[in-house]
């Protein structure tokens, strides 16, 4: 099952650090000052968008039935195997931007040079070194995560189950207390009678 970059929306403060970290990771210089001095424009593969007071980073979802993959006429946009990230082969890309039109999230773009399609590669080279994607590692409020569906869902289910169990226990305790009270009232009325 594939890993996804997920976001805890309430933790995002809209600082755009993930965007810069993404640009640095995909640069030649790997250092923000050197990049600027060299005039590098690696572009962003993650974008922080806003809705009302909320800001949310959004990047490629690496869809299983990816519209970009289906739209690509040369096979440049592809994945190695099910569950693997959707990647762009810049050599095969002809720059037709069909994938850009097809993407329902607006996270497929043309590269700053305009020569090929350009998207989140889930930092595959970092993953190979056991590191998390640059955006995830850089987030100062830890709003971004790299999660696998299995463990992530298990965690969510565990929290849901805990909540249910606690509600159940609280309800039971209330019932017990009510029964005690009813019993006491009955005893009082019997004694009074």
Partner 1 sequence: MARELKYADKATQQMLKIAEAENIPTVWDRWEAMQPQCGFGTLGLCCRHCSMGPCRIDPFGDGPKTGVCGANADTIAARHLARMIAAGAAAHSDHGRDIAHTLLLVGENPNSDYTVKSMEKLKAVAEVYGIKPDGKEPRALALEVAKATLNDFGQQTGTVRMAETAPAARQKLWKELGIYPRAVDREIVEIMHRTHIGVDAEYKNVIKQGLRASLGDGWGGSMIGTELSDAIFGSPNPLKTRANLGILKKDMVNLVVHGHEPTLSDVIAIVSQDQDLLEKAKKVGAKGIQLGGICCTANEIMMRHGIPLAGSYMQQELAIMTGVVDMMVVDVQCIWPGLENTAKHYHTKLVTTSPKAKMPGFEHIEFEEDRAVEIAKQIIATAIENYPNRNGKQTVIPDVTQGAIGGFTTETVFQFLGGKYRSTYRPLNDAIIAGRIRGLGGVVGCSNPNVEFEEGHLTIVKELLKNDVLVASTGCNSITCAKHGLMTPEAAFQHAGKGLQEVCQAVGIPPVLHMGACVDNSRILRVLASVVAEGGLGDDISDLPGAGAAPEWMSEKAVSIGFYFVASGVYTVIGKPLPVVGAPGLYKYLTDEIEQEVGGKWAFEEDPIEAAHLMLRHIDRKRKALKLKPMMYPQPFKPEE
Q: Which residues bind partner 1 (CB under 8 A)?
A: 15-17, 19-21, 23-24, 32-33, 35-37, 40-44, 137-138, 140
| Least separation in angstroms between CB 116 and partner 1 | 17
When the beta carbons of 16 and 84 are compared against partner 1, the nearer one is: 16
**Residue owning tokens 């509600």:** 167
Task: Report the distance separating Cα 19 and Cα 72, nearest Å.
Answer: 26
Nearest to 86 by CA among 60, 106, 107: 60
| Minimum gap (Å) between residue 60 Cβ and partner 1 | 16
Provide, rounded to whole angstroms, the least separation between the CB of residue 61 and partner 1.
20
- Is the CB of 42 or the CB of 85 nearer to partner 1? 42
Q: Which is nearer to partner 1, 15 or 67 (CB)?
A: 15
- Provide CB contacts within 8 A for 38, sequence distance 6+: 28, 29
Nearest to 41 by CA among 53, 29, 54: 29
């Amino acid at each position: 099952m594939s890993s996804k970059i997920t976001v805890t929306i309430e933790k995002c403060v809209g600082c755009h650090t993930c965007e810069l970290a993404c640009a640095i990771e995909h640069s030649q210089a790997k250092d923000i000052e050197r990049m600027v001095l060299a005039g590098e424009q690696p572009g962003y593969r993650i974008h922080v968008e806003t809705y009302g007071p909320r800001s949310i980073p959004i990047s490629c979802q690496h869809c299983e039935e990816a519209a970009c993959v289906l739209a690509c006429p040369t096979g440049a946009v592809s994945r190695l195997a099910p569950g693997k990230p959707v990647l762009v082969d810049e050599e095969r890309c002809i720059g037709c931007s069909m994938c850009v039109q097809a993407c329902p999230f607006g996270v497929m773009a043309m590269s700053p040079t305009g020569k090929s399609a350009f998207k989140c590669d889930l930092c595959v080279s970092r993953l190979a070194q056991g590191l998390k994607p640059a955006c995830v590692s850089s987030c100062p409020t830890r709003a971004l995560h790299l999660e696998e569906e299995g463990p992530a869902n298990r965690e969510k289910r565990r929290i849901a189950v805990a909540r249910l169990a606690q509600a159940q226990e609280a309800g039971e305790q209330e019932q017990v207390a009510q029964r005690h009270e009813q019993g006491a009232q009955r005893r009082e009325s019997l004694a009074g009678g």
